[in-house]
């Protein structure tokens, strides 16, 4: 059997995802601020480190990555906790969600050299609520401002957030709540989709492909409720 015949359809799809992602990053990097370039670079490096775990728009797994509890990876989760939040958790602490520690680590590591602050926290809702307040107070030139999902198109360097509670009506909530945010690392206007990377997704650092409308606004349904615009 020839080499070409041995290539499976899944391998072809996965190869196209990797190629599309690389081309998209190369094209976008030329248009980004240095801070946003760093965010894309850092998030993609961690995604690669964890084995390119990827989920398609249909929710089906395209590529299975490494898990938080595997050797060499539970220690990396510990780096996120220690370096961003000075906490001693690792990937072996299976009952402790580390997605917000990952976001805090990426944003701080990427912005530190530029002196760009980010509201680091073990809970996504802490920084979401702070950036919603920027919006409501009219502080629209702040480095980060949170809008309702349908108000702004997604751009590279933004964060998109969804509820992990029974309701997605969390934008105006002032108390703590369960949520999750991912970093936008690529935008494809022709396909009406974005690529986002987040931590503690399927117990890994994972990329999701998310649907948008023709204006670039996330319309993936479910419990997505906010977009944090990155003005830095």
pTM for the model: 0.87
The string of pLDDT tens digits covering residues 171-229 is: 999 999 999 999 999 999 999 999 999 999 999 999 999 999 999 999 987 899 999 99
Residue 230 β-bridge partners: 144
Per-residue pLDDT, 78: 98
The string of pLDDT tens digits covering residues 1-23 is: 454 455 565 555 555 555 555 55
Nearest 5 degrees, angle CA 144-CA 68-CA 64? 90
Tokens 């990377």 correspond to what residue? 197
| Dist. CA 96–CA 67, nearest whole Å | 14
pLDDT over 60 at 43, yes or no: yes
pLDDT over 90 at 166, yes or no: no
Q: Where are the alpha helices (DSSP H) in 30-140?
A: 34-49, 74-80, 99-111, 124-136
């Amino acid at each position: 059997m020839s080499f070409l015949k041995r290539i499976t359809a899944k391998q072809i799809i996965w190869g196209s995802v990797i190629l599309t992602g690389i081309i998209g990053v190369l094209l976008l990097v030329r248009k980004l601020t240095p801070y946003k370039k760093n965010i894309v670079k850092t998030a993609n490096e961690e995604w690669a480190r964890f084995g390119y775990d990827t989920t398609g728009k249909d929710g089906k797994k395209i590529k299975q990555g490494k898990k938080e509890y595997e050797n060499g990876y539970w220690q990396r989760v510990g780096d996120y906790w220690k370096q961003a939040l000075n906490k001693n958790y690792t990937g072996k602490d299976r009952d402790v969600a580390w997605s917000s520690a990952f976001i805090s680590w990426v944003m701080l590591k990427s912005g530190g050299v530029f002196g760009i602050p980010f509201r680091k926290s073990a809970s996504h809702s802490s920084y979401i609520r702070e950036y919603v307040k920027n919006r409501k107070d009219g502080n629209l030139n702040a480095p980060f401002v949170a809008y309702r999902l349908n108000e702004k198109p997604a751009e590279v360097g933004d964060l998109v957030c969804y509820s992990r509670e029974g309701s997605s009506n969390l934008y105006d909530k002032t108390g703590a709540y369960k949520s999750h945010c991912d970093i936008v690392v690529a935008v494809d206007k022709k396909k009406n989709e974005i690529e986002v990377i987040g931590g503690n997704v399927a117990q890994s650092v994972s990329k999701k492909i998310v649907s948008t409308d023709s204006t670039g606004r996330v319309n993936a349904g479910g419990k997505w409720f906010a977009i944090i615009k990155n003005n830095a």
